[in-house]
């Protein structure tokens, strides 16, 4: 743990002039305000630094816009992308009128989820380990107006470029669905991924590995160690920030969009999770796959509430273009040991009880991690509280089941609109514990419908011209 006094001493000792205050908006994008060090003192870590919150998506009206950023001293690092040495600090949001944490701040919601965990007596620590995939593109163009709409992405690795004049074209392009773990020269992003990983380490993220992913066109993944709920969400935001900025340095563009390439694998964010108490893991036991009864009930809660959960863990219209059969996406709501075609996988962890965990494979990195992790924890705790039976595991390859067998397996919602409908009907597991407010849930649903679902519904799609222009 780092104290405010230690942070202030670091600023003084290293003669840091600028402090960059980062916070996350409701949909999940980092925002920031840079202040001179004279604006920061010990009260900044308790009362916060004032700012105008009226222009932040999903937050305040202009007539009640004053808010405060409360600095977290455990999140400091020197920003590697700024010319002037600048100290980065992640903040939570406080209501200056009441002095209370702001109940639409995602980081505040995450803290309430942890407080709820402790209050149940089920555990005192929730660990999360997200695995966010992304694409590295060389070019992206898109536009939408009254009379035209299009997108264009390109990568030197794209299989679609195997016949392009490149003076010379060397031909090392990963085949569709065959981009997993190729060495150079087929894998062209080794050096950029290494730099991304090492820069993340300088920003305090405990790094592990990096590799090429399944899709052609530059799909990749970097790995970092699991952490406590808020810590893991902080690290994921740092991960996205670093990757995008290192990519920009190389003249590349990075997207965490789940399905930017047609007819190839999309990008997910498989999320490992477990609960501990007094330093001991609680998901290890003598039940199926070495799980405890608590672990199975946690899975039961995730599966029971999965359709509603996806409104927070898969919150974009594009998310549901990834969640389709045939592309290694977990469409069916089932659990299994080591089976990557199930939406919940229990990884093989040997005899080490500390490694026992579950992996929810549905989420993607368009989510706000503080909200997604909090919602998953609430669903799991509801399973523990109500002893929800997850049913029998499904150890077969789901994609090879007969139609009769498959009909018995529940599936994920087919669109963001359906997930939002599920959330409307099923959210007491989020609000009853006091983690999410009813106001937040209704604001989330309205925001997504008004800004994403309905605007998409109103616009012609380019493929509709291929289907219907000659009607």
In the set 25, 79, 95, 131, the catalytic residue is: 131
Residue 221 a catalytic site member = yes
459 close to 145: Cβ distance less than 8 angstroms: no
Query: What is the C-alpha to C-alpha distance for residues 471 and 468, in angstroms, rounded to an integer?
Result: 5
441 vs 445: CA distance, rounded Å: 6
Residue among 32, 37, 211, 340 flagged as catalytic:
340
Q: Which of 193, 212, 270, 322 is catalytic?
A: 270
Active-site residue identified among 6, 41, 42, 52: 52
- Interatomic CA distance for residues 394 and 246, integer angstroms: 41
169: part of which helix (H) or strand (E)?
A: none
Distance from C-alpha of 280 to C-alpha of 395, rounded to nearest angstrom: 28
Give residues with Cβ within 8 angstroms of 195, minimum separation 6: 246
Contacts of 463 (CB under 8 A, 6+ apart): none
Q: At what angle do helices 293-313 and 438-448 cross, to 10 degrees?
A: 50
Active site residue: 79, 359, 417, 452, which one?
359
- Is 361 among the residues known to form the active site? yes
Can you read off the two tokens belonging to residue 85?
């040495």
Q: How far apart are the first and last CA of the chain?
A: 66
The active-site residue out of 221, 264, 364, 417 is 221
**Annotated catalytic residue 211:** no
Tell me if residue 340 is catalytic: yes
**From CA 19, how far away is CA 40, in angstroms rounded?**
8
Count H helices and E strands in the chain, helices first: 13, 18
The SS3 call for residue 404 is helix
**293 is known as an active-site residue:** no
Are 180 and 166 in contact by the 8 Å Cβ rule? The answer is no
DSSP letter for 361, please. Answer: -
Active site residue 345: no
User: Per the residue annotation, which of 25, 72, 79, 213 is the catalytic one?
Assistant: 213
**Distance between CA atoms of residues 159 and 172, nearest Å:** 9
Strand partners, 125: 276
270 counts as catalytic: yes
Q: Is 357 a catalytic residue?
A: no
Residue 195's Cα: distance from chain center in Å? 22
Selecting among 72, 79, 95, 133, the annotated active-site residue is: 133
Give the span between the Cα atoms of 87 and 90, in whole angstroms.
10
> What are the DSSP E strand ranges found in 147-267?
149-154, 207-212, 219-224, 227-228, 253-255
- What's the alpha-carbon Rg for the chain, to the nearest Å? 23
Helix (H, G, I), strand (E, B) or coil at 7: helix
Q: Residue 90 belongs to what H/E stretch?
A: strand 86-94
**Cβ–Cβ under 8 Å, residues 45 and 70:** yes
133 is catalytic: yes
Q: Which DSSP symbol is given to 164?
A: S
Which residue of the set 210, 297, 361, 427 is catalytic? 361
Which positions are catalytic?
52, 131, 133, 213, 221, 270, 340, 359, 361
């Amino acid at each position: 743990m780092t104290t405010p006094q230690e942070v202030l001493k670091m600023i003084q000792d290293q003669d840091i002039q600028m402090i960059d205050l980062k916070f996350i908006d409701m949909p999940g994008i980092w925002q920031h305000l840079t202040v001179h060090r004279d604006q920061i003192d010990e009260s900044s870590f308790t009362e916060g630094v004032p700012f105008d919150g009226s222009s932040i998506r999903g937050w305040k009206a202009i007539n009640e816009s004053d808010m405060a950023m409360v600095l977290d001293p455990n999140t400091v690092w020197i920003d590697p992308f700024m010319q002037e040495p600048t100290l980065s600090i992640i903040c939570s949001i406080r209501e200056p009128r009441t002095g209370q944490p702001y109940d639409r701040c995602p980081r505040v919601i995450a803290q309430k989820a942890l407080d709820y965990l402790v209050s149940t007596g089920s555990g005192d620590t929730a660990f999360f380990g997200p695995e966010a995939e992304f694409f590295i593109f060389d070019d992206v163009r898109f536009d939408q107006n009254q009379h035209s709409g299009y997108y264009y992405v390109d990568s030197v690795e794209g299989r679609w470029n195997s016949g392009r004049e490149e003076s010379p074209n060397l031909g090392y392009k990963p085949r569709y669905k065959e981009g997993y773990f190729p060495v150079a020269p087929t894998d062209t992003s080794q050096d950029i991924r290494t730099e991304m990983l090492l820069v993340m380490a300088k920003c305090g993220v405990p790094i592990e590995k990096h590799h090429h992913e399944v899709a052609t066109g530059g799909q990749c993944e970097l790995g970092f160690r699991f952490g406590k709920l808020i810590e893991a969400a902080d690290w994921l935001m740092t991960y996205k920030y670093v990757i995008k900025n290192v990519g920009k340095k190389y003249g590349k563009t990075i997207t965490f969009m789940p399905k930017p390439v047609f007819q190839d694998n999309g990008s997910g964010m498989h999320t490992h999770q477990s609960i501990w108490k007094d330093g001991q893991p609680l998901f290890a036991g003598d039940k199926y796959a070495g799980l405890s009864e608590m672990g199975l009930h946690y899975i039961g809660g995730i599966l029971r509430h999965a359709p509603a959960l996806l409104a927070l863990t898969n919150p974009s219209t594009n998310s549901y273009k990834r969640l389709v059969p045939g592309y290694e996406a977990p469409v069916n709501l089932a659990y299994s040991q080591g089976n990557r075609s199930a939406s919940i996988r229990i990884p093989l962890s040997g005899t080490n009880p500390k490694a026992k965990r579950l992996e929810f494979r549905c989420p993607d990195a368009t989510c706000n991690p503080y909200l997604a992790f909090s919602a998953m924890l609430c669903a799991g705790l509801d399973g523990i509280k109500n002893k929800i039976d997850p049913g029998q595991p499904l150890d077969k390859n789901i994609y090879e089941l007969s139609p009769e067998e498959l009909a018995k397996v529940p599936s994920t919602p087919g669109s963001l609109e359906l997930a939002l409908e599920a959330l409307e009907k099923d959210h007491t597991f989020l609000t009853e514990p006091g983690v999410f407010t009813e106001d937040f849930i209704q604001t989330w649903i309205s925001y997504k419908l008004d800004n994403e679902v309905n605007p998409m519904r109103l616009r012609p799609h380019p493929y509709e011209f291929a289907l219907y222009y000659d009607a």
